Amino acid sequence: MADQKLITVVDYGMGNLRSVAKAAEHVAAPNTRICISQKLQDIEDADAVIFPGQGAAKACMQALQTSGIDHAILKSAAEKPFLGICMGLQVLMTASEENQGVNCLNLYKGHAKAFDLADFPKLKIPHMGWNQIHQTQDHPLWHQIPQDSRFYFVHSYYVAPNDRSIIAGTSRHGITFTSAIAHNNLFAIQAHPEKSSAAGLQLFKNFLHWNPQ
């Protein structure tokens, strides 16, 4: 089909790939094909890219660099609609404090930092479960998602971008932390929209219909 839209979910050996793909398929238009792939060609040919991730930053970066997918990720993030999820947000930063320090993709200056909850002894790490995201930008991916909607989180680190203008959402776990960023054709979220019920499905739907200029 000539006008078929290809969405590639990047497979680099880490991430909740099937759940992400199924959630996207559930809200996709009939002419949209969701493809889970580790092939560079499928990433390059995609009309839009979803970059999910779980686990540790060091293992994630090693997998990206070993496969050569790191360059395809950076190229896609510069050229087409791009959605990063969880670790797919954190590794966009300069570095992570995880594993005694890990150099990341450096797409955005800033760090993934460990939660310091010394003043909040009742709170646990990882931050796991449902939490609100307060939208700080009027962004197309927040369309029809009410302010302070609840999303599902599982993480021990949070991003702290140097440029605060790219922050698209914040959440609270003891401290207030950045839970979403947006810049040009890129949107990335710390929560797992594939596990976030109606709000998460709406975010996928918004992404699949997004046409950033």
Q: Quick one: pLDDT at residue 14?
A: 75
CA 52/CA 99 separation, integer angstroms: 20
pLDDT in tens, 165-204: 999 999 999 999 999 999 999 999 999 999 999 999 999 9
Q: Quick one: pLDDT at residue 213?
A: 75
- To the query of whether residue 127 is one of the catalytic residues in this protein, the response is no
Structure tokens at 205: 């739907």
Could you tell me what percent of the chain has a pLDDT over 90?
A: 91
Backbone φ and ψ for 147, nearest 5 degrees, come out as -55, 140
* Of the options 3.40.50.880, 1.10.3720.10, 3.30.43.10, 1.10.150.20, the CATH number for the domain spanning 5-208: 3.40.50.880
b/e burial code for range 91-130 (CB count within 10 A of at least 16 → b)? bbbbbbebeeebebbebbebbbbebeeeeeeeeeeebeee
Classify the C-alpha dihedral 63-81-18-91 as positive or negative. positive
Nearest to 86 by CA among 168, 163, 153, 160: 153
- To the query of whether residue 104 is one of the catalytic residues in this protein, the response is no
Query: Can you give the residue ranges of every domain in the chain?
Result: 5-208
What number is the average pLDDT over the span 62-78? 94
pLDDT in tens, 7-66: 999 998 877 799 999 999 999 999 999 999 999 999 999 999 999 988 889 999 999 999
Nearest to 112 by CA among 154, 76, 155: 155
What number is the average pLDDT over the span 154-171? 97
Chain mean pLDDT for the chain: 95
Let me know how long the chain is. 213
Confidence tier at 1 by pLDDT (50, 70, 90): very low
Q: Quick one: pLDDT at residue 56?
A: 87
Could you tell me what percent of the chain has a pLDDT over 70?
A: 99
- Among 127, 155, 183, 194, the active-site one is 194
CA 30/CA 108 separation, integer angstroms: 34
Global pTM?
Answer: 0.96
- Chain-centroid distance, C-alpha 93: 12
Structure tokens at 196: 């976030």
- Among 44, 71, 86, 183, the active-site one is 86
